[in-house]
Amino acid sequence: PERTLPGLPLNQIPGVMPSLMDIPAGCAFHPRCEQATEACRLRVPVYTGRANFRVACHWAATCEQRT
């Protein structure tokens, strides 16, 4: 989210968040993510990023190149 850009909608991941008592293996977002692959189902992603943001996604670099 960016507070300096009021009025712009935030992107949302469809679906329902998993219960904290039953977080899925791998990336916790993989059941709801349109970009999820087998790697997402099997491995927890590591945090990467820059000074102003951090992200935990196996495909963050690939997605950033597309924007």
Tell me the pTM.
0.68
Q: Give me the pLDDT at residue 11, please.
A: 75
* Number of domains forming the structure of the chain: 1
Q: Is 27 inside any structural domain?
A: yes
Q: Is 6 inside any structural domain?
A: no
Write the single-letter amino acid at 17.
Answer: M
Condensed to tens digits (0 to 9), the pLDDT of residues 12-67 reads 788 888 889 998 999 999 999 988 999 999 999 999 877 787 889 998 887 766 65
Q: Is 34 inside any structural domain?
A: yes
Q: Give me the pLDDT at residue 5, please.
A: 67
Q: Give me the pLDDT at residue 62, please.
A: 79
Buried b (16+ CB within 10 A) or exposed e, 48-58: eeeeeeeeebb
Q: Is 56 inside any structural domain?
A: yes
Q: Is 48 inside any structural domain?
A: yes
- Domain span holding position 29: 23-67
Q: Is 38 inside any structural domain?
A: yes
